[in-house]
Amino acid sequence: MQSWFETTEAIGAGARGDEPRESCGIFGVFNVPDAAAVIHRGLFALQHRGQEGAGIVVSDGEHIRSIKGVGLLNEVIAAHRGVKLPGAIGIGHVRYSTTGSSKPQNVQPLVVECADGLWAVAHNGNLTNARGLRLSYQEAGAIFQTSTDSEILVHLLADPMFRTRPRRVERALAEMKGSFSYLLLTPKQVMAARDPLGFRPLSIGRLGDGYVFASETCALDQTGAEHIRDVLPGELVVVDAQGIRSSTFCEPVQGGLGQCIFELIYFARPDSTVFGQSVHEVRMKLGRRLAQEAAVPGDIVIPVPDSGMSAALGYSQASGIPLEYGYIRNHYVGRTFIMPDSVMRSGGVDMKLSVVPNVVRGKRVIVVDDSIVRGTTARRRVRGLRTAGAKEVHMRISCPPIRHPCFFGIDFPSRDELVAADRSPAEVAKFVEADSVGYLTIEGLLASISQPDTYCTGCFMGRYPCDTGSAHHKLALEASGRGKA
């Protein structure tokens, strides 16, 4: 039998800088022949969501087998070339860590053996009550194998207080606070769940006689699956031999939801539909509104690839200033945000983006990007344009200034990291060495999306849709309990 790995090729991943960083991408299938190959294709479409580690777990109905490792998806596959993962049921994960460090035991899906058999878990999000739950289990004698918040669900499922009672999974999910989209696997079923506020996206697709779950619809398209609908906030969807069924694990949320608005601004691929909206179309609207709110004379508009592309097109159309490609992206450099420190990240930017001198020389350049977080990457980009001969450099950002931390899956938990936290746009411009910096207003942002009251805008406004719990650094669980993990 030929290994499914032998049919794949290593392909370089996309690249980004020190901007917002999001936790993970998850993908699962039920009753889909050659599940491992389908999961590989789905995860490849989600590689932009996490490049620190990847894993695939497959069941043949009796046995669960897995491969996982640190690095890009195809690097992990290459390291396990020849391994066979037979079965039609499986889940997969690509990781960027927002809780727990980049070490092998933190790579998902997690596979554990409970009293009633094997379980596998893949998680996208950030639990705000993870530290308290973890400490309570450790005090009771539980042993944790990872330093991620994702493992909390495993302990809840294994706890006799939940394992021996009806609606076991629903009861366990109800104990968790914060943001999560989960995929769970047993030898004979796949389950999918979203937190009550719906922070992270999770879609359901149909492929032949089987079902597919994915963080973004672009992964459904990649595998040929038909998008049916999204998993609803507070919903648990179970697929097994009896079919597909749904239940809820919480009371309906009163008031607005907490869908992460950065999914539309930055995280999701432009060919995805997220929270019922076309990502490309939303970003076009943001760019058009930005041109109205932050107009500046210029000769050309250039996007920062890739998530600035749609907004730059909208800005160009609304302003009448021609769109040019002033940056060329090296597709074989991974997202620089996965590098461990700012020196490595800034060094990676030079490899990732190159300026086209003939495009920008002697021009008043308007650079459109989705966000500025720390500002170090933006400064290097501005310097690159000036070195290439740009006459003026004006940065235009298709979201408001990021002034507050995120506790729900974006890795900027401290205001100290945020360049706009205590700076005006003019001061940010001075920091990044641009002639000017202009942001979209919060009013402009909300006017560009449908159902704006269903989104979390805490990173802009400092007001969050739920309790943020005990604020902690991403490595806080490394040292929980009495010693380091």
Residues catalogued as catalytic = 24
Q: Which residue bears the tokens 């706009």?
A: 420
Provide CB contacts within 8 A for 443, sequence distance 6+: none
What whole-number distance in Å separates Cα of residue 43 and Cα of residue 85?
Answer: 16
Phi/psi for 64 (5° steps) reads -110, 130
CB-count exposure of residue 86 (10 Å: 0-12, 13-18, 19+): middle
Cα 131 vs. chain centroid, distance in angstroms?
22
What whole-number distance in Å separates Cα of residue 40 and Cα of residue 32?
Answer: 13
The residue among 32, 39, 31 whose CA lies nearest residue 55 is: 39
What whole-number distance in Å separates Cα of residue 65 and Cα of residue 117?
Answer: 14
Contact 85, 68 (CB under 8 A): no
Provide CB contacts within 8 A for 368, sequence distance 6+: 287, 290, 301, 302, 303, 304, 308, 311, 312, 315, 396, 397, 398
At 403, list the tokens.
Answer: 């002034």
Length of the chain: 485
The residue among 363, 338, 360 whose CA lies nearest residue 348 is: 338
Q: Which residue bears the tokens 């038909």?
A: 226
How many other β-carbons are positioned within 10 Å of the β-carbon of residue 451?
A: 13
What whole-number distance in Å separates Cα of residue 331 and Cα of residue 339?
Answer: 16
Peptide bond into 306 cis (omega under 30): yes
Q: What is the DSSP letter of 411?
A: S
